[in-house]
Amino acid sequence: MKIFKQFNTSGNCFICNTNENKPCVLIPKDNTEDDGIEEAEQVHIDCINLRYNPEINFFYQKVSNKWKTKFKSLNQPLKKLLIKL
Ligand SMILES: [Zn+2]
């Protein structure tokens, strides 16, 4: 994963919801790949706080409670994964 020294201040980090100019990475978004190119979101390095679940061999981070309101529109495999978490 490439680390960028500058944050593109035209958007916000989806974890802290600010556009502070700090080192960041691009996180690819599920279900956006088209011809080898996919959409990504910027996240500050210091906002990343990953956890590892060895039972399902999966890295994750709870971002906020916002996902609950979007839960109804998620695809079925992702719903099943989130229910397990
Ligand atoms: Zn952030």
On whether both 18 and 43 belong to a single domain, the answer is yes
* Entry pTM: 0.69
Ligand 1 center to 84 CA (angstroms): 26
The answer, yes or no, to whether residue 42 has pLDDT greater than 80, is yes
State in Å, rounded, how far the first CA of the chain is from the last one: 24
- How many domains does the structure of the chain reveal? 2
Same domain? 2 vs 37: yes
Q: Are residues 44 and 64 in the same domain?
A: no
What is the whole-number distance in angstroms between the Cα of residue 83 and the centre of ligand 1? 26
Strand ranges for the chain from DSSP E: 24-28, 40-44, 51-53, 58-60
At residue 18, the pLDDT reads 93
In terms of residue numbers, what domain contains 21? 1-48
43 and 57 together in one domain: no
Distance (Å) from CA 32 to ligand 1 centroid:
22
- 37 and 74 assigned to the same domain: no
Pairing of strands 24-28, 51-53: unpaired
- pLDDT at site 70: 58
Does 26 lie in the same domain as 10?
Answer: yes
Ligand 1 mean position, distance from CA 42 (Å): 8
